[in-house]
Structure formats: structure tokens, C-alpha cells
Amino acid sequence: MKTIIGLEIHVQLNTDSKLFCECPVDYGHQEPNTNICPICAGQIGAKPQSINKKALENGLRIAKILVCKEVLNQDIYFQRKHYFYPDLPSGYQRTSKPIATEGKLGNIGIWEVHLEEDPGRYELRKGIVDYNRSGIPLAEIVTAPDLRSPLEAKEFLERLERYLRYFDLISNEVGNMRVDANISLEGGKRVEIKNINSFSNVEDALNFEIKRQITQIEQGIEIVQETRHFDENSGITIRMRKKETADDYRYVPDPDILPIVIDERLLRESQATIEELPDQRTQRLAEKYGIESSDARVMVIEREFADIFEEISKTKQIQPQKLANWMRGPLRKQLNYRSKKTSESGLRIDEIRELYEMFEKGEISDSAADQILISLLDGESTTQTRKIRQIAEERGLLKNANKEEIRKICEDAIRENEKSVADYKSGKEKALFFIVGKIMQKTKGAADAKEIEALLKSKITEKDNQEKIKK
């Protein structure tokens, strides 16, 4: 039986303030009801301010990514969608008519993109309402029913998210993409699963729903049009309401909001930054620089990250594949560990270039490179480009500078750890690593573990030979 799936995706747009007021959009880490004002708390007599321009611009950027036709030079009204729920301070949600229609992402059609405001958050069990989220700008993306399997739906969402992240259009909050999934089996009625908060849950909910519907059909029970809720803990969908009793939202144009008009200039200005799409860039990086596709893909996680890769790859004597390995490994690890975007990390291309070159030439060890990176990321931010060589010198992380010293430390270590040396000589390879660890501690990582290992081996052999000669 053919499976027909369409998605409605609510994306929290990356902005500094809410859609109709100046409150900050940070809600995940704030005390409840601190980022609110009379407007987003729907106080009596408060009116929405003019629409947040950045939200509209980001909406138009999404339209471009999804190859939509923008609704140009005509009044686009915000409507009031009425329903009662504790998280909705005015009893209606403000939601625009489409700003763009008829697009596609890959071979999946996009019906429309429109803007709306996020409601607050309601914790049913505690009976607590937090309006910090109320009024945060959302774009709703509605796909055509072109998806044919739960896996395809999940992959579509992952791709969409990759694109939105790449162009920095989406907020950083948990729950920044929420999905309503519509599913029907060929010839059957449509069932909507509302407000699913992760992509794997989308896949799970749809898989469950297919099984449920097939079982029903086999039992001769008719599928009814209804709205269901996915329960994450039990992994099943539960009926919320049947369509017969579904809400009538009584959409009316909001008299407090002037209609938006998108003209060519606004379109040009907001969409200028959207050129090469991430998948195109991945392909180009792989071909042009001869790196693995999987590495190219990681480079393109963020636009600024890929920019760094391309910029440094232009430097002579740098092998792009090696650079990609290092960026994908140590650099990405430090950024991810801090959940920092490259753009907000404070790192500059010149700093990364110098650091990488020193590492690549063997002037510093990989752990020294890590240390410098950490100090750049966690240190005080500065407007000047920091000199990596200077930092390395100050911290005694340059390899050549202390080769003599390390040799001496190795000799000392052999003397101080007689038992381990003996163990090693009797064939226990691991005993050597114990000594390597000690030396690494002593040199605070300036030394290269591999080099120390080699040095120790040769020293032990040397010592052995000398002793043999003495005998």
C-alpha cells in the first residue's frame, strides 16, 4: 500500500528579538516569565509593534532556499487564529498568509511558507505557564504530500535542518524545529500527528501510524480523519480529536497589524546571501580539493566553517585532505564541546591557519595544538588577531625549543621507573605507556607522545647495549 506523507514544519527563526516586540528570544536558559512585556504577554490594551524585519528577511531566505515563488507587491495580512489554550496569552495566534508558495527541496514539493508567532510553554502536569517563548518568530513550511516513507520524511527534515543551519536562519534553542506530520495510506483518510519534537520521533510516530492503520484495515475498521498525538515514552500515537469536532479557528485579519508588502528591493537585499546551497558546496569541495565526500559534508555543517577550509586550502603546501582531517577532528571537537558556532567562537581564519601550519610542520604536537585552541576559545575575546607562535613560545609548547630538555626528562624517567622498564623489557609493551604518560604530565603536553615513545625505546635499547658492553 502506498504511503502518503506531508509535513508542516515550524522553524524558530534566528532573530535578536520577538516578532512583535523587543523582548529577547532567549528562553531556554531564563527564569520563567522574565523575557516578557505587555505585548508578548497579551496584556489588556497592548498592541503588536511592527513586524521584526530580520524575521521577515529570514523567512524570505528560506523561500529562496526552497526555490519558492515569493508573494510580491501585494498586501500579506496577518490573521488571528483563535483557540483557547493556557500558553496563548491573547486567545489567538498571529499567523501570516503565505509569503512564498510552490517551491521544492530535492524532489519534495513545498506548498507554502508563512510567518507566525510561537505560543508560550505550558507544563500540563505542573500547571505552569511560561511566556518567555511567547512571540518568538516562527516560519511554517508546508510540504506537498510527496514523501513516501517515514525514513524519507526523516531524511528530508535532516536535510532541511542542515540547510537552515548552514545559512544561520534557525534559533539555537532546544525545540527549534517542531513538526506536524500528515499521513494516509493510499485511498484512506488523512491522519495528522501534531507537534512532534524530534526527527527520530517523526520517523517512529509515522512507522507506528502505518502499522496501526494497516492493522485496522485488516480488521475491517475504517480509518477516520483525526488528529493524534505521539507519546514518546510508549512510542505510540493517541487520538486527540476527530475531525467532526475539530476546531474552527475563525481566521480574521488582525486589525492591529499593517499588511506586509514584499517588494523587489527587500527580496534582493535579504536573499543576496543565499547563493550556493550546502549540498552543492559539498560536491564542489570534494571535487575541487579532492577530499572525501564525508569530510566535505562536515566542512559544510556551517558556512563559516567551510569558508575557513577553503581559505586555508588556498595556502601553498597545504594538503586539503589533511587540513579537512584536522578540522573535522580536533577543531570540530572543541567547537562541539562548547556548542559554539564558528561565527560566535571568536576564532579568526589567520589564527587557525597559523595554528594548523605549525601543527602540520611538526613545530607543535597535536596536544599542544589542542591546548592553544582551548586557550583561544576560552580566553578573553579580543579584537586583534592573536599570534599563535607567541602563545606557543610563552607556554613552552614549541617542540624544537626543548628537545634537549625532553631528552633529559626521558633519561630521568627511565631511571625513576625501573620496574616499568623491566616490565617492558620482559615483553609488556603497555608498561612503556605508563612512562610516556608520566612524561606527558611533566611536559604539560608540549612533547609529542609518539616521539617520546620512540625516544624511550631507543634510550632503553641504548642503555641495554651499554650495560651489555660493560659486562
Partner 1 sequence: MFIEKIEKTLERIRRDDPKIGAFIEVYEAEAKERAKKLDERLRAGRKLGKLGGKIFSIKNNIAIKGKKMTCGSKMLEQYVAPYSATVVERIEAEDGIIIGSTNLDEFACGSDNTKSAFFKTLNPLDHEYVPGGSSGGSAASVAADFAEISLGSDTGGSIRAPASFCGVCSIKPTYGLVSRYGLGDLAMSFDQIGPIAKNTADLQSTLGVITGRDEKDQTTTVEKDWQKDEIGDKKIKIAVAEEFLEGLDPKIADLFEELRQKLTEAGHRIDKVSIPSLKYAIPIYYLAVFAEFSSAMQKYDGLRYGNVGEVEELVESVAKIRGEKFTSEVKRRIMLGTFITTKEYQDAWYGKTLKARAKLRSDINSVLSLYDVLLGPTMSSLPWKIGQKNENPLEMYLADILTVPANLAGIPAGSVPYGKIGKFRPGFQIQAARFKDQKVLKLMRTIEELDSK
Site for partner 1 in 166-205 (CB under 8 A): none
- Phi/psi of residue 224, each to 5°? -105, 150
Stretch of residues binding partner 1 (CB under 8 A), selected from 90-98, 182-190, 194-202, 356-364: 90-98
- Based on the shown chain and the rule CB under 8 A, indicate whether residue 133 belongs to the binding site for partner 1: no
- Asked if residue 128 binds partner 1 (CB under 8 A), the reply is no
Q: State yes or no: residue 98 binds partner 1 (CB under 8 A).
A: no
Q: Which of 48, 137, 150, 320 binds partner 1 (CB under 8 A)?
A: 48
In this chain, which stretch among 181-189, 253-261, 293-301, 354-362 interacts with partner 1, using CB under 8 A? 253-261
Among 27, 92, 208, 289, binds partner 1 (CB under 8 A): 92
Name which position in 2, 50, 316, 419 contacts partner 1 (CB under 8 A): 50
Stretch of 184-192, 206-214, 255-263, 301-309 contacting partner 1, by CB under 8 A: 255-263
Q: Which of residues 223-252 bind partner 1 (CB under 8 A)?
A: 248, 250, 252
Q: Is 261 in the site for partner 1 (CB under 8 A)?
A: no
Q: Does 120 sit near partner 1 (CB under 8 A)?
A: no
Q: Is 362 in the site for partner 1 (CB under 8 A)?
A: no
Candidate list 6, 42, 137, 330; residue touching partner 1; CB under 8 A? 42
Task: Name the minimum Å distance from CB 248 to partner 1.
Answer: 5
Q: Rule CB under 8 A: is residue 1 a binding residue for partner 1?
A: no
Residue among 43 and 215 whose Cβ is closer to partner 1: 43
- Cβ-in-10-Å burial (0-12, 13-18, 19+) of 254 comes to buried
- 30 counts as binding partner 1 under rule CB under 8 A: no
Q: For residues 42 and 278, which CB has a smaller minimum distance to partner 1 in the complex? A: 42
Q: How far is the CB of 393 from partner 1 (least distance, A)?
A: 54
Chain residues in the site for partner 1 (CB under 8 A): 38-39, 42-50, 80, 82, 84-86, 89-92, 129, 248, 250, 252, 254-258
